[in-house]
Amino acid sequence: MDKLSKEVCDTIENHDYLTYNLVAEMIDGTKDDMSKFHTNKRQLSFRKFLRLSYVLHPDNQKEVFDGWCLRFNTTEAIKQSFEYASITRNKELLKTLIDKYSDDSALSKHVAIYTILYDFYTNEIRAKDLITRLDKVGQLKGELVILSDIIKCYNYYWAENYSLMLATAKEAEKEINKLGDRQLFIKECYLHRVAEVLGHVSRHLNDIDSARFYANLIINADICAKTVAGATYILGMSYLPEDKEKAIKYLQIRYDITKTLGEQDIENNARRDLDFAKLYLDIQLDADADPILLRLQNNEGSEFELKLIREAVFQGGDDEFLVFLCAMAKNSLEKMHECRKYFFKRGNYFFTSMAAREAKKLGESSALIEEFIEIKTETKGDVEFEENFIKCFNRVSNHRSSISA
């Protein structure tokens, strides 16, 4: 028995009440799994080790499992350690794994792909660079083909190529569905990744039901605070046209989460979107909001000031919400039609619909405007997953009260 497995068995045996049978139940395993594990006849899967870390070390699970990832000695477990570090946005662990296995020929493709993701997470490269970097990796096999296609979707999102993004993500979803039980951890992680893609593209294409489905899948998985924040953004935006309380609730939750991430740009973006939603819904801004936005809410903001916001805050390109608010501020049916056409041309059907709704409020009564209000592209494919399918990161308590509840 290797040293790590012996440490795990010792922890179980020395625990006040844990037994192998109880642990098996808690980690979605079988009695046979644990019997063969502690008699050194069979190793546990990476996913079961992950579940074990929550059972045996609930107070410092992350630190413990980070250490385990660096001690796994099978190729399969090492590959899955890369995905664990990446999906949880654990940049320190991911970099350590990349450095540790950079000269291992059996892992060269994994090192190359996850180096691209690491560079993307640390802003060394941008979304526009991803496909160029992927092309340099060469031919891929197995699950890395799926991961590569998902990464390409990040580039398509940046390029606003929503149709290609949707087609690629739906094909990836089909391939994920084919992964077997031995690859359940990878299957759950890749589904989470593709749900991020499909959640955002569904919202852009105004398929609100699908957007909410994928957002809830991410929230229920609870893998990473950053991705949960992104999912609550999707939910908040999806409710803008129909339920102001839910819209603000979810955007506020997103903002609160981003304040715990230690990434100021993400926090600023979340606050911006929350305040933009309040402007749209005519909800009073907080006193510490941007002074120009406060002036705008009081009908004192000028076109020049709006231009300053755009140039100062969104130098990377026009922000969809700001474009929409600028058109609203002009209170002109002609300008709102221009706004609708702007979004329609870019395939952004969510804001096309929002602009059409505002045009209707300004007096537009044609049958065509109703079609623009309802415009959407169906994004959900034939593959069906439950919203709670991803369970590998579910927190498990080893306290008696929690187990008996």
DSSP 8-state secondary structure symbol assigned to residue 284: P
Cα dihedral 165→171→173→175 (10° resolution): -140
Lowest mean pLDDT among 4-13, 77-86, 246-255: 4-13
pLDDT at residue 404 is higher than 70: no
Average pLDDT over every residue of 161-169: 94
* pLDDT of 83 strictly over 70: yes
Q: What percent of the chain has pLDDT over 70?
A: 91
The pLDDT assigned to 115 comes to 98
pLDDT at 136: 96
The string over 323-353, giving b where at least 16 C-beta atoms fall within 10 Å of a residue's C-beta and e elsewhere, is bbbbbbbeeeeebbbebbebbbebbbbbbbb
Place of tokens 């660079």: 129
- State residue 329's pLDDT score: 81
Which residue is it, tokens 């537009």?
Answer: 364
Length of the chain: 405
- Rounded (5°) CA angle 275-281-286: 35
What residue has token string 């058109």? Answer: 327
User: Measured on CA atoms in the order 377, 380, 381, 382, is the torsion positive or negative?
Assistant: negative
Confidence label for 15 from pLDDT (cuts 50, 70 and 90) = confident
Cβ proximity of 404 and 65 under 8 Å: no
pLDDT at 293 over 90: no
DSSP state of 60: S
pLDDT at position 382 over 80: no
Measured N-to-C along each axis, helices 320-329 and 333-345 cross at an angle, to the nearest 10 degrees, of 160
The reported pLDDT for the residue numbered 327 is: 87
Confidence label for 383 from pLDDT (cuts 50, 70 and 90): low
Sheet strands (E) in 8-87 = none
Q: Nearest CA to 186 among 224, 147, 226?
A: 147
Q: Is the per-residue pLDDT at 310 higher than 60? A: no
Local structure of residue 299 (DSSP, 8 states): T
Highest mean pLDDT pick, 16-25, 226-235, 313-322: 226-235
Name the nearest CA neighbour of 383 among 222, 217, 148. Answer: 217
Torsion 196-197-200-206 (CA) sign: negative
Q: How many CB atoms sit inside 10 A of residue 108's CB?
A: 14
The predicted-structure confidence for 264-274, as pLDDT tens digits, reads as follows 889 988 998 99
Residue 401 has a pLDDT of: 30
pLDDT for the residue 301: 57
* Mean pLDDT score of the chain: 89
* Residue 244's pLDDT band (cuts 50, 70, 90): very high
Please tell me the predicted confidence (pLDDT) of residue 405: 22
Phi, psi dihedral angles at 235 (to 5 degrees): -60, -45
The pLDDT tens digits of the residues spanning 88-126 come to: 999 999 999 999 999 999 999 999 999 999 999 999 999
Residue 166 pLDDT exceeds 80: yes
Q: How many CB atoms lie within 10 A of CB 51?
A: 23
Give the least confident one: 43-52, 158-167, 360-369, 384-393.
384-393
For the segment 217-228, the average pLDDT, to the nearest whole number, is: 92
Least confident of 2-16, 283-297, 301-315: 301-315
C-alpha to C-alpha distance for 44 and 69, rounded to whole angstroms: 14
The pLDDT of residue 231 is 96
**290 band by pLDDT with thresholds 50, 70 and 90:** confident
Q: Specify the long-range contacts of residues 42-50, CB closer than 8 Å, at least 24 apart.
A: 43/5, 43/74, 44/5, 45/182, 45/184, 45/185, 46/72, 46/76, 46/77, 46/80, 46/81, 46/84, 46/185, 47/80, 47/184, 47/185, 47/188, 47/392, 49/8, 49/77, 50/84, 50/185, 50/392, 50/393
Note the pLDDT of residue 270. 93
pLDDT for res 157: 92
pLDDT at 28: 85
Mean pLDDT of 368-392: 84
Neighbours of 197 (CB within 10 A): 25
Does position 252 have pLDDT exceeding 80, yes or no? yes
In the chain, the amino acid numbered 182 is R
